[in-house]
């Protein structure tokens, strides 16, 4: 099994309820995102897939979040804009966009600070 890792950043605000007073206030983060793409076979060039493809598609996903108030986004209309849901959204949306046989988005971590993140692990 081979795994690639791509990282990126975005800035966004959110507000969480039922978590604690500090998180219930409107606040923002400079999010750090780690994406892992996994597969069993390398192509003829000896790589799992081109990093550039992952980065290009990840940018499209991140652009839907960057400099937004996440709670008002259609993406989070039915779920809280938590780190957990952000990681899951990025994983599922990127999986949909990277339609390559034998390649899957295996996990995504959404870091809201340098020492706090949530990770979504695909089935």
What residues are labeled active site? 23, 67, 112
**3-class SS letters over the chain:** CEEEEEEEEEEEEECCCCCCHHHHCCEEEEEEEEEEEEECCCCCCCCCCCHHHHHHHHHHHHHCCCCEEHHHCHHHCCCCCCHHHHHHHHHHHHHHHCCCCCEEEEEEEEEEECCEEEEEECC
Does 32 carry a binding-site annotation?
no
Does 27 carry a binding-site annotation?
yes
Does 85 carry a binding-site annotation?
no
Residues flagged as binding site: 14, 27, 29
Residues flagged as binding site for Zn(2+): 14, 27, 29
């Amino acid at each position: 099994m081979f795994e690639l890792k791509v990282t990126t950043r975005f800035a966004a605000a959110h507000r969480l309820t039922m978590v604690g007073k500090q998180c219930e206030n409107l606040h923002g983060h400079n999010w750090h995102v780690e994406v892992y793409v996994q597969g069993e076979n390398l192509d003829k060039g000896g790589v799992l897939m081109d990093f550039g493809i992952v980065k290009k598609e990840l940018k499209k996903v991140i652009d839907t979040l960057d400099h937004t108030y996440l709670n008002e986004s259609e993406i989070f209309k039915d779920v809280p804009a938590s780190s957990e849901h952000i990681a899951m959204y990025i994983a599922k949306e990127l999986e949909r966009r990277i339609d390559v046989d034998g390649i899957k988005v295996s996990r995504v971590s959404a870091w809201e600070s340098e020492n706090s993140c949530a990770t979504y692990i695909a089935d």
